Amino acid sequence: MKRGKLSLQAIIIIFVCIVVALSLGITDLIISKRITASVEETQKEKALNVAKMIAFSPQVIGAFEGKANKKEVQILANQIKEKTHVNFVVVMDMNGIRLSHPDPSKVGKHFRGGDEGPVLKGKEYVSISKGTLGRSMRAFTPIKNSHGKQVGAVAVGISLENVTKAVHKGRMGIVIGTLIGVLIGVIGAVVLARYIKKILLGLEPFAIAKLLEERSSMLQSVREGIIAIDQEGKITLVNRAASKLFKRAGLEENPMGKNIEAYLPETRLTRIIKSGETELDQEQNLNGVTILVNRVPVVVENESVGAIATFRDKTEVRLLAEQLTGVRNYADALRAQAHEFMNKLHVILGLVRTEQYDTLANYVSETVNHRETEMGFVTKKIKDPVLAGFLIGKLSFARESGASLSFDCVSKLPKPANSEITHELITIIGNLFDNAMEAIADSPNKKVGLKLDYAEDILTIEVKDTGLGMNNSLQNKILDKGFSTKGENRGFGLYLLAQAIERLEGDMIISSKPGKGTNFAVYIPYKAEDESND
C-alpha cells in the first residue's frame, strides 16, 4: 500500500462507523425530543388529574361551604401528596390564602409564586414557577361549590428535577440502544470490508484502477478486433480495432450494451457460453467483409460467465500469407533451378572432358530450347503473370524431384476480372500439385499431370497422379480439417482447397482407386478481365 493512502478495509470501516454514528445520533436526538415532550406531557396530565381529584373532593368542597372542618383539607392534601408522589398539594381560598401545605407552618399564609392569578378567575392551566419548595411544574384547577360558584383553587406541583430525572431515565434506553447499534455497525463494517477485499483478491482501489488502465491500454493497442459479451449476451467490451472493422462493414461503431444476437446475428458467441468450447480460425462475413474469428468462453469457477471473440480482416491475413507463400515459392523455384543447372553443368563438364564437342553443342542447344519453349508456352497461354510465374516455379520443382510432369493449357487463360480469383487459384492449384507430388513419393511410376481449360466463363483444373490412390472411406475424409495420413500437424492443405472452392462457388470431383492413382477435377466460374470492361 502506498504511503498516505488508507486501505480499502480502513476506509470502509471508518465510513460505515460514521454513517451508523450519524444515523443513530440523529435518531437519538429526534427520539429524545419526543420522549422529553412525552414525559413533560405525562407529568402535566398527572398534576392536573391530581388537582382535579382534590378540586372535586366532597371534603374539600364541604370545608369551603362550612360543612366540614378546614383542617381536614390539610390532612387530605398530604395523604394524596404521599400517594401520588407529587411535590406539593396546596388548597387556597379566593384570596390566595393556603388551607394546606406540606409545611404546616405555611398554612394560613398567602400562596407564593405569582402565577395563581388566572386560576382565581376560573381558569385551569399548567405553569412553571418558583415557590417555597423551589422551581416546579404547577397545575392549577378551580374549586367550585355545589352551586357551581368558585370558592377556591388547588395547586399541585411536581419538581422540575423529577421531570428531568424521568426524561433522563427514558433516554437511557435510547443511549444504550445507540451504543449497541454503533458496536454492531463496527463489527458489520469489519466483516463487510474483509468480504469485499476477498472478492477483490486482496487488491486496493488504486491497484485495481492501475490494472484497469493497463488492461484498457493493452486491449486498445492490439491490431486484432476484440468484442466480449456477458452471460446474458450483452456486449461489454469493444476495442478500437473492432470499431474500425464494424465501421468498414457499415455497422454501428460503438455497440456497448446491445445484445450480440441483434447486433451480429451470425455470431456464435452465445453458443460458446452454453457449450463452453473454444472455436479457432473460423470465418465470418460482416456485410461483405470476411474476418477470421477466434471464440473463447470466459470461465469463472467452472461456470461460463461470458465469451470473447478476437478477429481480424481476412484480407490482411491473406496478403501476409501470400507474401510468405510468394517468397517461399520464389526460393523453391530458385533452389530447383540451381539444382537443375548444377546437374546440367556436370553433364557439360563430362562432355568437355571426353572432348565430345558435337554432342555438347547439341545438348546445350536442346537445353536452351527446352527452357525457352517451356517458359514461352506458359507465358503465352497464361496471361496473368502471377499465376504464370507460380506455374513455372512448380514445373521446376517437379523436375528437381525427379517426377515426370505434363502441363497442358487447352485454351488461353485471360487475366481475371477480379484479382482475388488469382489468389484463390494459387491456393487451389498449389495444394492439388503438392498433394499429387506427395502421392507419388513412394510410387515407382512418378507422373503428375496438370491441365487447364477455359471456356464459357468456366475454368477447369485437372490434376492427375500415379500414386497409390484412395478408397471411398478415405475420399470422404481427406477434405476434413486436420485429417492426414502423413502424421501430426498436417491435413490443412485440402481443407483450405475446399474452402477456396466454396468461396468461388465452384465444384470438385474426386476420382480415385487404390493402386491406380487419383484424379482431381475442379470447376470454377471465371470471368475474364476483357469481358468486365466491355
Q: Are residues 154 and 252 located together in one domain of the fold? A: no
Beta strands in 248-363 (DSSP E): 279-286, 289-300, 303-313
Assess contact for 221 and 210: CB atoms under 8 A: no
Strand-pair partners of 293: 282, 311
* Domain final residue, candidates 257, 278, 312: 312
- In three-state form (DSSP H/G/I as H, E/B as E, the rest C), the secondary structure along 148-193 is CCEEEEEEEEEEHHHHHHHHHHHHHHHHHHHHHHHHHHHHHHHHHH
Q: Return the axis-axis angle of helices 385-400 and 419-439, rounded to nearest 10°.
A: 10
What is the rounded radius of gyration, in angstroms, for the C-alpha atoms of the chain? 54
Please give the Cα distance from 19 to 9 (Å, whole number): 15
Cell numbers describing residue 321: 500469407
Q: Are residues 396 and 293 located together in one domain of the fold? A: no
DSSP letter string over 425-468? HHHHHHHHHHHHHHHTTT-SS-EEEEEEEEETTEEEEEEEE-S-
* Domain final residue, candidates 297, 312, 327: 312
Q: Which residue range(s) make up the domain with 101? A: 11-166
- How many domains, in total, are found in the chain? 3
Q: Are residues 273 and 389 located together in one domain of the fold? A: no
Domain containing 494 — which CATH number? Answer: 3.30.565.10
Q: Are residues 288 and 364 located together in one domain of the fold? A: no
Domain containing 308 — which CATH number? Answer: 3.30.450.20
For residue 58, tell me if it sits in a domain: yes
First to last CA, the chain: 74
For residue 117, tell me if it sits in a domain: yes
For residue 55, tell me if it sits in a domain: yes
203 by Cβ neighbours in 10 Å (0-12 / 13-18 / 19+) ranks as middle
Q: Are residues 240 and 128 located together in one domain of the fold? A: no
For residue 332, tell me if it sits in a domain: no
Q: Are residues 151 and 225 located together in one domain of the fold? A: no
* Domain final residue, candidates 148, 166, 184: 166
For residue 144, tell me if it sits in a domain: yes
What pLDDT, on the 0 to 100 scale, is given for residue 532?
43
Q: Are residues 285 and 382 located together in one domain of the fold? A: no
Q: Are residues 252 and 374 located together in one domain of the fold? A: no
Those residues whose C-beta lies under 8 Å from the C-beta of residue 40, and which sit 6 or more positions away, are 137, 163, 167
Q: Are residues 110 and 231 located together in one domain of the fold? A: no
Q: Which residue has the cell 474500425?
A: 244
For residue 185, the one-letter residue type is G
Q: Are residues 413 and 468 located together in one domain of the fold? A: yes
Please give the Cα distance from 229 to 269 (Å, whole number): 8
Kind plus residue range of the DSSP H or E element containing 125: strand 125-131
What pLDDT, on the 0 to 100 scale, is given for residue 372?
45
Q: Are residues 440 and 370 located together in one domain of the fold? A: yes
Residue pLDDT tens, the chain, 534 long: 444 566 767 777 777 778 777 877 787 777 777 777 777 788 888 888 988 988 888 888 888 888 878 888 888 888 888 888 888 899 998 888 888 888 888 888 888 877 888 888 889 988 877 766 666 788 999 999 888 889 899 999 887 776 677 667 766 777 777 778 778 877 877 887 778 777 776 666 666 767 767 676 666 667 788 888 888 888 888 888 888 878 877 787 778 888 888 888 777 788 888 888 888 878 777 776 777 788 888 887 778 888 888 887 766 556 555 545 544 554 555 565 555 566 666 666 776 777 776 776 666 655 654 554 456 667 778 888 878 877 877 777 776 677 777 888 888 888 888 877 887 888 888 888 888 888 888 788 888 888 899 988 899 999 998 888 888 877 777 777 666 666 554 556 677 778 888 888 899 888 888 888 889 999 999 988 764 444
For residue 197, tell me if it sits in a domain: no
What pLDDT, on the 0 to 100 scale, is given for residue 163?
65
Please give the Cα distance from 37 to 28 (Å, whole number): 14
For residue 333, tell me if it sits in a domain: no
For residue 349, tell me if it sits in a domain: no
Q: Are residues 390 and 527 located together in one domain of the fold? A: yes
